[in-house]
Amino acid sequence: MISPHDTYSLKPLWWFWTPWAIAVGVAVLNAVLPPEQRQFLYVENGFLESLQAIIAFAAAGVGIACLRHCKGDKLLFAWILIAVLGSLYIGLEEISYGQHLLKWDTPELWAHLNDQNETNLHNTSHWLDQKPRQLLTVGVIVGGIVIPLLRKYKPKLLPERFAIYYPEGALFWISALVVLSRLTKTLHKAGIVTIYDRAAEVNEFYVYYFVLLYLVMLRAKLPARKKGA
């Protein structure tokens, strides 16, 4: 599945060992800690939610660094700009635009619109929360699983002119964890087994982590592409 050239010098620590260590570590803590103690994994400003915000802001920063290498390519510029704006939106939403850090009270009018009594948008509508997340999840699965498989077995089905956009094979492992964490949510809701109390938070972490590593690898490819041109 993965060959050395498609990691772009990104060590396996980042695309394999760290994400799998988090998956196993959170599952073990979820199993051994009593409910009141393991909630630090899932609550606002807890382990996973803090990681989500940090990763989203980091992705935005890497995306901004990519933009300067896109001069003359309006489509690539737009693609990366969407990733930057989306990552900023995710990061700001995760910290409720600073409310989780500065601890201000939600205005009364907004509190009636927000089902979590927070100063953010994603808790006001499915179209600002679940729909974008579902779309991004589909993109991660297509980009991290389907495209690497096509590149390996049916490369002629992928237009060469879009090669710079295709995620690298190393991201297969992150996509696999997106699928597995989604499966744990289904198993939990069905009452079969509980691996994570809030599997959705684990799933979101891997979706955002995929975006970060995608942009990191893209940033590594862009200077070489520019020289080749």
SS3 of 9-73: the string is CCCHHHHHHHHHHHHHHHHHHHHHCCHHHHHHHCCCCCHHHHHHHHHHHHHHHHHHHHHCCCCCC
Domain count, the chain: 1
pLDDT of residue 105: 77
Look at residue 87 and tell me if it is in a domain. yes
pLDDT the model gives residue 227: 58
Residue 96 confidence (pLDDT): 82
Q: Closest Cα partner for 204 from 82, 50, 58? A: 50
d(CA 114, CA 118): 6
Whether 4 is in a domain gets the answer no
Q: Say what the pLDDT of residue 132 is.
A: 86
- Does residue 98 form part of some domain? yes
Phi-psi sector, 117: left (phi>0), alpha (psi -120 to 50), beta: left
Summarised one tens digit per residue, pLDDT across range 129-168 is: 788 889 999 999 999 999 999 999 999 999 999 999 999 9
Residue with tokens 């690298």: 168
The list of the chain residues with pLDDT below 50 reads 1-5
Specify if 168 maps to a domain: yes
Query: Has residue 64 been placed in a domain?
Result: yes
The pTM for the full model equals: 0.91
| pLDDT tens per residue, range 189-214 | 999 999 999 999 999 999 999 999 99
Report the pLDDT value the prediction gives residue 218, as an integer from 0 to 100.
95
2 within domain boundaries: no
| Residue 156 structural domain | 11-26+37-228
- The CA distance from 212 to 174, in Å, is 11
Q: What is the pLDDT of residue 10?
A: 85
d(CA 183, CA 199): 9
